[in-house]
């Protein structure tokens, strides 16, 4: 493993509550990979305790999801309201990423009497953080490409050496995992003309929209994408090197659609994306250009599930005004055919193959780089 910067560790002594992380900020997610270990978010010398480890990770999965192969080694390869997946390397046997995961509280389902055997087989860190909150789509979600390092033990109590993980890394109980997150306000919005050959435009602050790609297959329907149960209408449910998943259902119900890059649409398990209506397929303007798998702005480094509730008494949000909570979210809006008005997406649950057939365009609005009050 390659050496990185030295970390000062006041967090091992005193924890000061900090406000929610907003657009344009950097922070570090710290996971003490042991039973009852702390999960912290640190900025500078201040840290917020956002949860605990229920079951540590002690293994990796050599057969990660297909799109994990397009992620960089040693980085977050998926960020979602219902899971975070981290890639350490690529498997020569499966051709897929070697991954381990962070899971919210809802996904822990085992008899405590079997803790020992479950722990020894687990390729996930199970946490007590509810889905859709904290690091799972709340104020502290990482991005695709956020790098992972491990805190090595030090001879002093004040300093420890952080090292990048190698492709052979396997998490062990007692490891301290660091995920470095850097959020830069990359754009005002990304717009998709929802038609065959429709243009995709990126609008940066202070600039005119720039055409960056095209829609190869429009979305016309809504499907049962499971994690959407933890995300409200018009929220990003998940982002990884092969998907942007958007919820069209209220929290507690299932419904949404996905935006996927063209090469991933040809993956064997993505046949439905080519034949059903719940997927938008996108790519560059010129078919001779490289595909967008694992590439910015859609499938690397910019999007993440984010939801800051307008009414909340949690310590990490108490200093954030309702306006800034609203501006600190991603919003996905739509424009219907025959209208010039951008409005909330239709609320649709379950599977409805033609629910979005009249959707003329989609915009993903980025959070604004607002202050902490």
Q: Are residues 228 and 135 in the same domain?
A: no
Does residue 43 form part of some domain?
yes
**Cα 54 to Cα 32: distance, rounded to the nearest angstrom:** 11
Q: Are residues 145 and 240 in the same domain?
A: no
Q: Are residues 218 and 324 in the same domain?
A: yes
The last residue of a domain, from among 182, 215, 230:
182
Give the pLDDT confidence score for residue 44 in this predicted structure. Answer: 81
Does residue 49 form part of some domain?
yes
Domain span at residue 39 reads 3-182
Within 8 A by CB and 6+ apart from 282, the residues are 192, 200, 213, 214, 215, 216, 259, 260, 261, 262, 292, 298
Helix or strand (DSSP H, E) at 324: helix 322-327
**Cα 276 to Cα 221: distance, rounded to the nearest angstrom:** 8
The last residue of a domain, from among 124, 158, 182:
182
pLDDT tens sequence across 10-54:
433 333 333 455 556 789 999 999 999 999 999 888 888 999 999
Give the pLDDT confidence score for residue 370 in this predicted structure. Answer: 52
Does residue 371 form part of some domain?
no
- Is pLDDT at 115 greater than 60 in this prediction? no
Q: Are residues 222 and 243 in the same domain?
A: yes
Does residue 290 form part of some domain?
yes
Buried-exposed string 38-50: b where 16+ CB fall within 10 A, e elsewhere: bbbbbeeebbbeb
> Which residue shows structure tokens 């498997």?
91
The pLDDT of 305-330, averaged and rounded, is 66
Within 8 A by CB and 6+ apart from 245, the residues are 80, 225, 227, 228, 236, 237, 238, 239, 256, 257, 258, 259
pLDDT band for 116, please (50, 70, 90 cuts). low
Q: Are residues 142 and 267 in the same domain?
A: no
Q: Are residues 144 and 246 in the same domain?
A: no
pLDDT tens sequence across 235-279:
999 999 999 999 999 999 999 999 999 999 999 889 999 999 999
Does residue 373 form part of some domain?
no
Does residue 156 form part of some domain?
yes
Residue 133 three-state SS: coil
The last residue of a domain, from among 161, 182, 203:
182
Q: Are residues 316 and 341 in the same domain?
A: yes
The pLDDT of 144-170, averaged and rounded, is 81
Q: Are residues 176 and 283 in the same domain?
A: no
DSSP string of 346-369, one letter each residue: P---S-BTTTTTTEEEEEEEPPP-
Q: Are residues 117 and 221 in the same domain?
A: no
- Is pLDDT at 323 greater than 70 in this prediction? no
Q: How many domains does the chain have?
A: 2
Higher pLDDT, 278 or 162: 278
CB 177 within 8 A of CB 33: yes
Does residue 147 form part of some domain?
yes
| This prediction's pTM | 0.89
Q: Are residues 222 and 79 in the same domain?
A: no
């Amino acid at each position: 493993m390659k050496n990185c910067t030295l970390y000062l560790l006041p967090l091992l002594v005193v924890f000061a509550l900090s406000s929610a992380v907003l657009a344009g900020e950097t922070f570090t997610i710290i996971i003490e990979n042991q039973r009852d270990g702390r999960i912290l978010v640190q900025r500078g010398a201040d840290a917020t305790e956002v949860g605990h480890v229920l079951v540590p990770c002690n293994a990796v999965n050599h057969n990660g999801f297909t799109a994990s192969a397009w992620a960089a080694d040693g980085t977050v390869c998926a960020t979602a309201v219902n899971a975070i997946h981290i890639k350490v390397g690529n498997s020569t046997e499966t051709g897929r990423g070697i991954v381990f995961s962070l899971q919210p509280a809802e996904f822990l389902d085992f008899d405590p009497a079997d803790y020992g055997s479950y722990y020894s087989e687990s390729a996930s860190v199970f946490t007590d953080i509810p889905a859709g909150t904290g690091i799972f789509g709340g104020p502290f979600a990482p991005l695709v490409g956020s790098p992972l390092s491990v805190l090595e033990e030090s001879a002093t109590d004040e300093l420890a050496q952080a090292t990048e993980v190698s492709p052979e890394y396997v998490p062990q109980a007692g490891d301290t995992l660091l995920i470095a997150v850097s959020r830069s306000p990359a754009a005002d919005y990304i717009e998709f003309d929802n038609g065959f050959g429709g243009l995709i435009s990126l609008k940066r602050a202070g600039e005119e929209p720039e055409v960056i790609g095209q829609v190869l297959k429009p979305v016309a329907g809504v499907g049962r994408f499971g994690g959407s149960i933890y995300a409200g209408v018009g929220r990003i449910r998940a982002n990884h090197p092969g998907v942007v998943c958007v919820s069209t259902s209220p929290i507690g119900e299932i419904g949404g659609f996905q935006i996927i890059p063209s090469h991933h649409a040809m993956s064997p398990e993505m046949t439905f994306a080519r034949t059903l209506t719940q997927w938008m397929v996108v790519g560059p303007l010129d078919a001779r250009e490289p595909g967008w798998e694992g590439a910015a702005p859609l499938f690397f480094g910019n999007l993440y599930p984010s939801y800051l509730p307008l009414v909340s008494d949690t310590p990490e949000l108490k200093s954030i005004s309702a306006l800034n909570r609203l501006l600190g979210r991603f919003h996905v809006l739509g424009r219907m055919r025959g209208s010039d008005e951008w409005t909330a997406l239709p609320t649709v649950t379950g599977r409805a193959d033609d629910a979005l057939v009249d959707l003329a365009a989609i915009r993903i609005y980025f959070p604004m780089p607002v202050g902490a009050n």
